[in-house]
Structure 1
Amino acid sequence: MMCTSGLPKMFWGEALRTANYLCNRSPSKAVDKTPFELWCGRQPSLHHCHVWGCKAEARIYNPNLGKLDPKSVTCHFIGYCEKSKGYKLYSPHHSPRVFETHQVKFLGESVCNTNFEDLSSDFEEIVESVDNIAVMPSIQNNLFNSGLAQSQNLVESQNAVDENLEANDLNSEMAEFDLGQGQEQLTEPEPQNEPQPQPQPQTKPQQNQVVVPRRSQRVRKPRFGGEDDIYEVYLSEVESTLSDDNDPTSFKQATGSNDSDAWTQAMIAELDSMYKNGVWELVKPKENHKPIGCKWVFKTKRDVSGNIERHKARLVAKGFTQKEGIYFTETFSPVSTKDSFRIIMALVAHYDMELHQMDVKTAFLNGELEEEIFMVQPEGFIEAGKENMVCRLKKSIYGLKQASRQWYKKFDSVVSSFGFTENLVDECVYLKVVGNNFIFLILYVDDILLASSNVKLLKDTKAFLSSNFDMKELGEASYVLGIEIKRDRKQGLLGLSQQNYISKILKRFGMETCANGEVPMSKGDKLTKNQCPKTENEKTEMESIPYARLVGSLMYAQVCTRPDLSFAVGMLSRFQSNPGHEHWTAGKKVLRYLQRTKDYMLVYKHVKKLELVGFTDSDFAGNYPASMKSTCGYVYMLAGGAVAWKTMKQSLIATSTMQAELIAIYEGVCEGLWIRNFILETKVLSDHVTGSLKVFCDNEAAVFFSKNSKRSNNSKHIDLKFYSIRKRVKDGEVEISGVKTSDQLADPFTKALSVAAFKEHSRNIRILSKTVALWSGTSLQVEMKTKL
């Protein structure tokens, strides 16, 4: 295969892997079946097999490509993907040179006769960059022997490839660290102006043990990666953030990049934190205790304006190799919900509370382990003379299955000792009451929001947290979880905006200069399964369109601060498995609407009477004949703005408008009772929800049925659980009232409306332009027609 193909010799491992792949699908004299059939119980399919080394054209995904730009790259087939249906391809003139994709057109089955350029210079460049990193005496040999300068045996080569194929699993495990703008992830700032001691895991680092790398003066060429980054999945769907940063994916990339000094200092700071927390101790490896691996993860941190704040390096354990029952048992840890966050923000606006933010540095390192876990020493920082020793973890580390749980247990025990009580409805929301003053603490992994009615109580809480954890003071909260917080305390206004995140969405899909749209979905627009691709050509064409990425990007904005997107995003999400051109066009229409409203924010304000009010609505068989199931929705208002909302397709087929509306009332009441219980748990605010929960519906029959036990032939089939509403009404927990359709705030959550009606409802749930809502110098002009 190698001789016939003419490919570089460095691909001998892929040739061997492909040969093994084909042998497993070929018959033998020993048995009458192929090894694949004996193992899987079915005959293998060979329609996807091609000659190793043959030429192919791979489709390139890049939303910024022009109409006349090439959409594919010429490459050579070098193997089959192991964890997806696709091919491994090699292109000497493309970056990355080796990638995986399923969008390939093979140009016949003849092998290539290309004279490939000598790649030795690339390897020399890599080796030189490694030689210039005198991190520790033992690390140079380890780096040089990693497959860049000499071949490994078959087992070592297999393990090297396996590590790279596990990279995606590691990224998913480390979602709490990979914090792009707009994701539900958190920043973890490092101390400013603090001396950075040279770290070492076991003992205090000495000055001669770690040397800042000397950058090579040679002009660097795009290099071909080593064992950790040789195979980079080219499909854009694997991107987890909207960031444009080309962050290193391995230790060798970081130390060989133009920012190697910054990345090295970031790694030193990370290991210094581990030394201070006593995370591990070096011991001799035990028999039958295989140590888990670890990996460096790098991230460029940016502020709300997109400017670089710092370079962050995180040492993470490869927790996906842990065995349940041996290295971990329980893994669940709670996290505060977006509904809780918005409720607290509404209370902050109403009571004019102090709102500050803090960050826990290396939060997971505070958790104490209950199991005995061994880990290999971190790459680049292997202690001289102890190369054969392993790290016995004494505390938790990022990447472990139980890391987040152990951190939560540690934090809960610490704040409880200071007088904080946990909210039983949302366990990551804490409250402390001192006399007539109180303070809320919201924990989101390692981000902390403090909302206090008293400045002294706020300072005391900050001092306590700083004495127990390594904290960073961030001052007044202005940007958290990708959400901007704007306040006008003179007018009692607070706004939540995702303008920066929305701008990134528009840029990501090449719509940053698109025309403005009036509404996310126009009245009369229908999305059905009949619009899905029917032929193979149509399906192939849609495979190159990032429809699922678009829906996911819109979903985060909808969940956080944009209830006006709820119905449109809900409809788009129904077709993620097989979208058509009409669905993609509808998605771009939502982007045009965001282009016009990207500076809009969800606004709360001080009101005369703080009261929780809900609205429920349903569109009976509104998508018929595509679907007979109705769409329902609800929205809850507090302090003048929406704090909870949802659009959903009902799980059963309603046979009448009354039944569809009754189901909507049931779903809305369930959410309202959760909010009510959450506020009751705060105790200091329970006076505002002592009465009945008010819910409005614009269907008189459903309102009547929810209050009275009248029987009729048309309602005998209704499920028993929906009758629970009557019991709630009878006990005085819930009050169901009628409302005019024009005043039904849940109307835009169930159907597409006219432009005028949609804009009116959006204003009423307080989706307002930043200039109108906060910075006009006057109070809000739009008031609810229904008294809240």
Structure 2
Amino acid sequence: MKALVKNKTWEVMPLPKNRKTVGCRWVFNVKLNSDGSLERYKARLVARGYTQTYGIDYQETFAPVAKLNTIRILLSIAANLEWPLHQLDVKNAFLNGELEEEVFMDAPPGFENHFGGNVCRLHKSLYGLKQSPRAWFEKFSKSVKNQGYTQGQSDHTMFIKSSGTGKVAVLIVYVDDIIISGNDEEEIHRLKKCLSSEFEVKDLGPLRYFLGMEVARSKKGIYVSQMKYILDLLKDTGMTGCRPSDTPIDPNLKLGDITQGTPVDVGRYQRLVGKLIYLSHTRPDIAFAVSMVSQFMHSPYEEHLDAVYKILRYLKNTPGKGLLFKRCSVRNIEGFTDADWAGSVTDRRSTSGYCIFLWGNLVTWRSKKQNVVARSSAEAELRAVANGVCELLWVRRVLKELQLEFEAPMKLFCDNKSAINIANNHVQHDRTKHIEIDRHFIKEKLEDGSICMPYVPSEQQIADGFTKGNFRPKFEDLTSKLGMVDIFAPT
């Protein structure tokens, strides 16, 4: 309450006629350190935003959050250029956002007598309001821009300031968690001081624990994992004592819609798969398996749940695996793209997969079923190539905004010669009319020198693990090529 009053969050006044109030409640919880120990107890006043009415209590609600792909790009750059990584945390972040709308709230529970039947007219945002994230981000971005930073267009939560002498400072914000990096130590120190004067900021020192991801740094590079997250997940699901598995999915398994069998609890299945989706941000080795089980969240059956348990048994075998961002002498951008033609037994759609390496480190990847049915393997591969080209162009845009150099053209490796020939061929073919846009898009980037498409044999196609399940020898070979290591494994 002291923080709310000090921040001038509200004004006490009678409720105007024909207006309604938003309810509120107190939420009590604890904040833990990365090792699981208690950091502090927390009490938070939360508004019941679900009672708000669009056009009266709120207008826009959207607020961008940092792309984890951008964070991995920054980690790769920091490992290669030996940039420091600082982490800040903003206390009571949402209380800083200024509201544009008139919002009236009931008196906080337990303080009704102090308000004497009046209500609170909110001037600052509160947790729970629909527009709180938007209001906070607008306040924060305005403050950072006033200090000479420009907002990135590839990721709107990234702010950059360059001195013109090769020195640059970068800030990325994810709600109230902030990462600062760059080679301009003076600017970083000044930025920390300015933010502390305007907001209540806690300097957490070097980046160690961010959004459930554990970050360790040494002379070999930067290692990112989610070991604690995995162990907590296994404990919550009762899988701590399960038999480990060598792979996250059976290569011979073909999951599809089921009309007969034993249905499982939809809510439990969705929560479990949702946790695995978040885990795949540092575990590309489970990306394909998670993509498969997430296709049946609307109507899961026991066979689908068994596939989820297979992923958990694999995680039991490799809880400490993570991505190692190491230093590399080559300043290039490479991508691998692949497709599994008509792999879905339900609707015969193909699965696209790609992975992008920046300066020798894996920064982005994806495994996704295509939107339409492909009538040939070349067509499926071409659609996957188009997705890979888009991701390469986005990574290049991030580097340009950071004013960092890279070797051109960017390489996109493909193991389908027909797809490569169609992309390079200037003659219009009748058999490619239905994929004409993708073909012209790829051809345009090939002609302007942005990318090139070398052929790679299927045995060396790293993206193969994002389109299908593999047996243990090949699976382990692919994960090692992705840059995944286990620093907790016995030597």
Give the TM-score category using the shorter length: over 0.9
Aligned to 1:704: 421
Q: 1:628 aligns with which of 348, 366, 386?
A: 348
Q: Deviations over 1:506-543 (max 9, x none)?
A: 111111111221111132222122xx2526xx33xx23
Q: Deviations over 1:310-366 (max 9, x none)?
A: 111111212222222222222211111111111111111111111111111111111
* Cα 1:552–1:585 shift into 2, 3 Å: same
Aligned residue for 1:288, secondary structure, equals coil
* 2:173 alignment partner AA: L
Pairs within 5 Å for 1:604-643: 604-624=325-345, 626-643=346-363
Question: In the alignment, is the contact (CA less than 8 A) between 1:349 and 1:639 conserved in 2?
Answer: no
Question: In the alignment, is the contact (CA less than 8 A) between 1:522 and 1:755 conserved in 2?
Answer: no
CA distance in structure 2 between the partners assigned to 1:272 and 1:457 by the alignment: 33
Q: Deviations over 1:648-694 (max 9, x none)?
A: 111111111111111110111112212211221222x1x216x2222
Question: In the alignment, is the contact (CA less than 8 A) between 2:382 and 2:438 conserved in 1?
Answer: no
TM-score (structure 2 length as normaliser): 0.96
User: Is 1:404 matched with 2:133?
Assistant: yes
* Cα 1:372–1:597 shift into 2, 3 Å: same
Q: 1:382 aligns with which of 76, 92, 112?
A: 112
Question: In the alignment, is the contact (CA less than 8 A) between 2:160 and 2:169 conserved in 1?
Answer: yes
Q: Deviations over 1:101-139 (max 9, x none)?
A: xxxxxxxxxxxxxxxxxxxxxxxxxxxxxxxxxxxxxxx
CA distance in structure 2 between the partners assigned to 1:517 and 1:336 by the alignment: 33
Question: In the alignment, is the contact (CA less than 8 A) between 1:298 and 1:313 conserved in 2?
Answer: yes
CA distance in structure 2 between the partners assigned to 1:544 and 1:318 by the alignment: 26
CA distance in structure 1 between the partners assigned to 2:266 and 2:382 by the alignment: 42
The structural deviation recorded for 1:415 is 0.7
Aligned to 1:296: 26
CA distance in structure 2 between the partners assigned to 1:546 and 1:293 by the alignment: 29
User: Is 1:675 matched with 2:387?
Assistant: no
Structure 1 unaligned spans of 5+? 1-270, 777-788
CA distance in structure 2 between the partners assigned to 1:647 and 1:729 by the alignment: 24
Aligned to 2:435: 718
Aligned to 2:245: 517
CA distance in structure 2 between the partners assigned to 1:478 and 1:279 by the alignment: 33
* Cα 1:716–1:358 shift into 2, 3 Å: closer
The structural deviation recorded for 1:721 is 3.6
CA distance in structure 2 between the partners assigned to 1:458 and 1:380 by the alignment: 43
* 1:753 alignment partner AA: N
Q: 2:46 aligns with which of 316, 325, 333?
A: 316
Question: In the alignment, is the contact (CA less than 8 A) between 2:266 and 2:300 conserved in 1?
Answer: no
CA distance in structure 1 between the partners assigned to 2:464 and 2:214 by the alignment: 27
The structural deviation recorded for 1:577 is 2.2
The structural deviation recorded for 1:459 is 1.6
* 2:463 alignment partner AA: A
Aligned to 2:153: 424
Aligned to 1:526: 254
Q: Deviations over 1:352-407 (max 9, x none)?
A: 111111111111111112222221111112353x4211112122222222111111
CA distance in structure 1 between the partners assigned to 2:63 and 2:93 by the alignment: 14
- C-alpha root-mean-square deviation of aligned residues, in Å? 1.8
CA distance in structure 1 between the partners assigned to 2:433 and 2:106 by the alignment: 66
Question: In the alignment, is the contact (CA less than 8 A) between 2:330 and 2:360 conserved in 1?
Answer: no
Question: In the alignment, is the contact (CA less than 8 A) between 2:383 and 2:438 conserved in 1?
Answer: no
* 1:741 alignment partner AA: S
Aligned residue for 2:204, secondary structure, equals strand
CA distance in structure 2 between the partners assigned to 1:289 and 1:584 by the alignment: 48
The structural deviation recorded for 1:717 is 3.6
Aligned length: 490
* Cα 1:383–1:463 shift into 2, 3 Å: farther
* 1:730 alignment partner AA: E
Aligned residue for 1:306, secondary structure, equals coil
Q: 2:265 aligns with which of 543, 550, 565?
A: 543
* 2:382 alignment partner AA: L
The structural deviation recorded for 1:711 is 4.3
Question: In the alignment, is the contact (CA less than 8 A) between 2:266 and 2:299 conserved in 1?
Answer: no
CA distance in structure 2 between the partners assigned to 1:605 and 1:575 by the alignment: 37
The structural deviation recorded for 1:430 is 0.8
Aligned residue for 1:715, secondary structure, equals helix
Question: In the alignment, is the contact (CA less than 8 A) between 1:604 and 1:639 conserved in 2?
Answer: no
Aligned to 1:554: 276
The structural deviation recorded for 1:730 is 1.2
User: Is 1:468 matched with 2:188?
Assistant: no
Aligned to 1:182: none
Q: Deviations over 1:230-286 (max 9, x none)?
A: xxxxxxxxxxxxxxxxxxxxxxxxxxxxxxxxxxxxxxxxx1111221111211222
Aligned residue for 2:253, secondary structure, equals coil
Aligned to 1:442: 172
Question: In the alignment, is the contact (CA less than 8 A) between 1:521 and 1:589 conserved in 2?
Answer: yes
CA distance in structure 1 between the partners assigned to 2:268 and 2:54 by the alignment: 36
* Cα 1:278–1:638 shift into 2, 3 Å: same
User: Is 1:666 matched with 2:399?
Assistant: no
User: Is 1:692 matched with 2:409?
Assistant: yes
User: Is 1:279 matched with 2:5?
Assistant: no
Q: 1:456 aligns with which of 183, 186, 201?
A: 186
The structural deviation recorded for 1:288 is 1.7
The structural deviation recorded for 1:771 is 4.2
* 2:38 alignment partner AA: I
* Cα 1:406–1:726 shift into 2, 3 Å: same
Structure 2 unaligned spans of 5+? none
CA distance in structure 1 between the partners assigned to 2:365 and 2:438 by the alignment: 22
Question: In the alignment, is the contact (CA less than 8 A) between 1:612 and 1:638 conserved in 2?
Answer: yes
Aligned to 1:590: 311
Aligned to 2:210: 480
Aligned residue for 1:291, secondary structure, equals coil
CA distance in structure 2 between the partners assigned to 1:372 and 1:714 by the alignment: 59
CA distance in structure 2 between the partners assigned to 1:382 and 1:448 by the alignment: 37
The structural deviation recorded for 1:484 is 0.3
Q: 2:364 aligns with which of 641, 644, 647?
A: 644
Question: In the alignment, is the contact (CA less than 8 A) between 1:523 and 1:752 conserved in 2?
Answer: yes
Aligned residue for 2:112, secondary structure, equals coil
Q: Deviations over 1:164-220 (max 9, x none)?
A: xxxxxxxxxxxxxxxxxxxxxxxxxxxxxxxxxxxxxxxxxxxxxxxxxxxxxxxxx
* 1:505 alignment partner AA: L
Aligned to 1:67: none
User: Is 1:366 matched with 2:80?
Assistant: no
* 1:287 alignment partner AA: K
User: Is 1:743 matched with 2:465?
Assistant: no
User: Is 1:566 matched with 2:287?
Assistant: yes
